[in-house]
Amino acid sequence: MRQPDSLRVDQRPEGEPYLSVSNLVVRFPSEDGVVNAVEGVNFSVTRGKTLAVVGESGSGKSVTALAIMGLVNRKSAKVTGEVWLDGEELIEKPDAAIRKLRGNKMAMIFQDPMSSLHPFYRVGAQLSEAARIHRKLSKKAARDEAIEMLNRVGIPAPRRRVDDYPHQLSGGMRQRVMIAMALINSPALLIADEPTTALDVTVQAQILDLIGQLQTEFNTAVIVITHDLGIVADIADDVAVMYAGRVVEDAPTTKLYASPEMPYTLGLLASIPRMDRETDRLDPIRGNPPSPLKHPDGCVFHPRCKYTDRVPNRACFTVRPELLESEKDHFVRCHIEPEERRRIAASVLGTGAGGNAAIATAGTDGTGAVAPVGRPA
Amino acid sequence: MAAYIFRRFLLMLTLLFMLSVIVFFLFQMLPGDPARLSCGKACTPEIVELNRKRLGYDKPVIEQYRLFVSGIFFGRTFSEDSPQPIKCEAPCLGYSFDRREEVMSLIARAAPATFWLAVGAFIMWLTVGISLGIYAALRRGRWQDRLTLGISLVGYSMPSFFIGLMLYYFVVIQYKLLPKPEYVSPFDDPLQFVQAMFLPWIVLAVLYAAFYMRLTRNQVLEVLNDDYVRTARAKGLPERTVVVKHALRAGLTPIVTSAGLDLAGLLGGAIISENIFNLPGLGSLAVNSIVESDLPVITGITMLTASLIIVANLVVDLLYAVIDPRVRLT
């Protein structure tokens, strides 16, 4: 492999976000009206750190990722806001310029490794494509790198496997190939859109482990998109919770699990099955997410929120809340007073606010879904 | 793979056998007495009977069929007891007493014109149809897409005799842009060959290109939404590579199927185009033989055309395995 760090030094000073998104809006005009997929998303991620973007289906998390990658068709969608990658603004850039960054400085892996690899081409050919396009490698050199990458992502007998077709590999193997494909040009940003949803539970942990390992190796900024709060505790440094195209809560992972403030986050945490506590039933969030064609007035979450009576003047029904800093690094989009929010959280999650920190540290046991992942501290 | 081809080959032979039975007996049931037809105007019942014997029509139908089939493999002799028996070497598809010539040599003489017609039109319509299909798919819903679809609808719904006659009238007669088509072999006079073939190529290509344009457009549109195309884009590949290498390749299978069968069908003769443009191909030969009730020739051409389709089917199935590595031919 190359020595990316000596050749391509991160131009951002230490601690500066590699990617920062502000006021990102994606709207698709359609025959039924405008689909408001993303309505003002803000977040940022630094090299070597992982941001988890969490939300239900349709909350706009995947569209956000595609918009960052420039994969939203600008002929069918209106994209506004700012996406800064390594000091460059992407939304204003022409498609051709963003294409040069894709698969190079930023890469993405997708949910379903079964359908994300081309069924007609050999694994090696698909792997080396990005290296050949962006670094103009020869066929031979690209193939050698492909084998090297397969080896790195833990595929046995990579010299043989490089000539396999995707259908000859298992689901976990294919996701490993997808990861190898995404990382072959050592991108500084990796977006993983539900990378483990389509995989067996046992394989899920391996894949997350692998992403974490390679992240350390390449010093990559990682965005993991998921609806599975169970895996977030293990892998993410920060969490952004999305609802109806907006970030409704954004905090460091431990903080978010220990003292969630937005009632939606609270609802998500309360609907995770817990093995360490006796509960008769799960407490799901009532109702359904709003149609992206028409978001409710006021707070978008108010039709499903149990606590709108805690806010005076029916503000939840009429005034859109802003994403405000509740305490350091903890941003919440909610009208309820911070003190009141913490009281609600404590009562919903059972113990006092302090006691909930246990979820974050013992998150794997709590959710029962994933084995602990060996991430660097 | 080898076992698969062998089995498919056996199946093909079975099909050909059944086909020969059907074709042979079907044509036996046609009205009209071939012995009478072969004897011309000055005819007496005696001559008719003699002809019947010479042609072998006096024998039972089963025996006639046996002779027909064994003729294909071992050759046969007509009018054995006459002073001048007619020897027909294997593969013998029969003998046209009308034209005083073996069916096989009639077909061999007509085949080149049909071959060039089919192959030329095939290349034209694939090129035009597939590129327009991709173009329309990439501009889906916009005016370029609508225009292309509209043109293809017109091309698809216009009968080929209409396009053919219009082209002939305007290009050859009215404006004299091309000389009156007269077929020659491309090896003898390439210029005259192209001049003679150009219009019939266009007539056939218009019809088929319209169909292939729609087929390609639908295939590409379907595949463009597939996950692996998104993966290709995420790698930062140029759009051209994404569309051609990733999307089109994946949507190719049905196009190859249609192309194989259409080409085979055309190799059996394009009746209308050949007749309008005076091409001495299998289509013309078939029509003339039907008009003259030249049964052996009709039987021969029908057998040949049907065999081509059967062979094309096998070739297409083998191509599947080449296109799609997931296809296991077992």
pLDDT at A370 over 80: no
Mean pLDDT for chain B? 89
Confidence of residue A354 (pLDDT cuts 50, 70, 90): very low
Asked whether B236 and A101 are in contact (CB, 8 A), the reply is yes
Give the pLDDT of residue A3. 42
Give the pLDDT of residue A14. 57
Q: How many CB atoms lie within 10 A of CB B265?
A: 15
Mind listing the pLDDT tens digit for each residue in A288-341?
889 989 999 999 999 999 899 998 888 999 999 999 998 889 999 999 999 999
CA–CA dist B54, A245 (Å, integer): 89
Confidence of residue A371 (pLDDT cuts 50, 70, 90): very low
Asked whether B185 and B115 are in contact (CB, 8 A), the reply is no
Alpha carbon A154 to chain centroid distance? 23
Asked whether A166 and A123 are in contact (CB, 8 A), the reply is yes
Mind listing the pLDDT tens digit for each residue in A75-107?
889 999 999 999 999 999 999 999 999 999 999
Which residues have CB under 8 Å from A256's CB, separation 6+? A239, A241, A249, A265, A330
Mind listing the pLDDT tens digit for each residue in A184-199?
999 999 999 999 888 8
Give the pLDDT of residue B28. 77
pLDDT at B18 over 70: yes
pLDDT at B37 over 90: no
CB-based contact (8 Å) between A150 and chain B?
no
pLDDT at A42 over 50: yes
CA–CA dist B273, B200 (Å, integer): 6
Nearest CA-CA partner of A306 in A251, A345, A278, A279 = A345
Across B305-325, average pLDDT: 89
CA–CA dist A126, A29 (Å, integer): 34
Give the pLDDT of residue B54. 76
Which residues have CB under 8 Å from A322's CB, separation 6+? A333
Q: Compute, in degrees rounded to 10, the torsion defined by CA atoms A190, A191, A197, A198.
A: -70
pLDDT at A145 over 60: yes
pLDDT at A359 over 50: no
Confidence of residue B198 (pLDDT cuts 50, 70, 90): very high
Give the phi and the psi of residue B262 in degrees, each rounded to 5.
Answer: -65, -40
pLDDT at B204 over 90: yes
DSSP element (H, E) containing A51: strand A50-54
Give the pLDDT of residue A277. 62
Q: Which of A18-22, A196-200, A244-248 has the lowest mean pLDDT?
A: A196-200
The answer to whether A116 contacts B230, with C-beta atoms less than 8 Å apart, is yes
Give the pLDDT of residue A15. 67
Confidence of residue A287 (pLDDT cuts 50, 70, 90): confident
Place of tokens 């992240």: A215
Confidence of residue A58 (pLDDT cuts 50, 70, 90): confident
DSSP element (H, E) containing B132: helix B103-138
Asked whether A27 and A36 are in contact (CB, 8 A), the reply is yes
B 226-285 residues inside an 8 A Cβ radius of A: 226-228, 230-239, 241, 246, 249-250
CA distance A131 to chain B (A): 9
Enumerate the H helices of A184-225 as residue ranges: 201-218
The answer to whether A99 contacts B250, with C-beta atoms less than 8 Å apart, is no
pTM: 0.80
Confidence of residue A139 (pLDDT cuts 50, 70, 90): very high
Give the pLDDT of residue A351. 54
**CA distances, A218 to each of A135, A143, A188, A200 (Å):** 17, 20, 7, 27
Among B138, B231, B241, the residue to mutate for chain A (most A Cβ within 10 A): B231
Across B13-42, average pLDDT: 80
Mind listing the pLDDT tens digit for each residue in B86-120?
888 888 888 887 788 899 999 999 999 999 999 99
The answer to whether A167 contacts B246, with C-beta atoms less than 8 Å apart, is no
Q: Which residue of B has its CA nearest to A134?
A: B236
Nearest CA-CA partner of B163 in B213, B209, B127 = B209
3-state secondary structure of A58: coil
Nearest beta carbon to residue A103 from set B228, B235, B325: B235
Percent of chain A with pLDDT over 70: 86
* A:B CB pairs within 8 Å: 72
pLDDT at B213 over 90: yes
Mind listing the pLDDT tens digit for each residue in B258-299?
999 999 999 988 889 999 998 999 999 999 998 888 888 998
CA–CA dist A163, B246 (Å, integer): 18
CA–CA dist B129, B143 (Å, integer): 18
Nearest CA-CA partner of A54 in A196, A228, A198 = A228
Q: Which of A86-95, A345-354, B128-137 has the lowest mean pLDDT?
A: A345-354
- What residues of B are in contact with residue A165 (Cβ under 8 Å)? 325-326
Give the pLDDT of residue B58. 82
DSSP character string of B73-121: HH-EEESTTSSS-EEEPSS---EETTTTEEHHHHHHHHHHHHHHHHHHH
Which residues have CB under 8 Å from A257's CB, separation 6+? A233, A269, A356, A357, A359, A360, A363
Across B305-326, average pLDDT: 89
Which residues have CB under 8 Å from B57's CB, separation 6+? B34, B35, B64
Q: How many CB atoms lie within 10 A of CB A269?
A: 21
pLDDT at B181 over 90: no
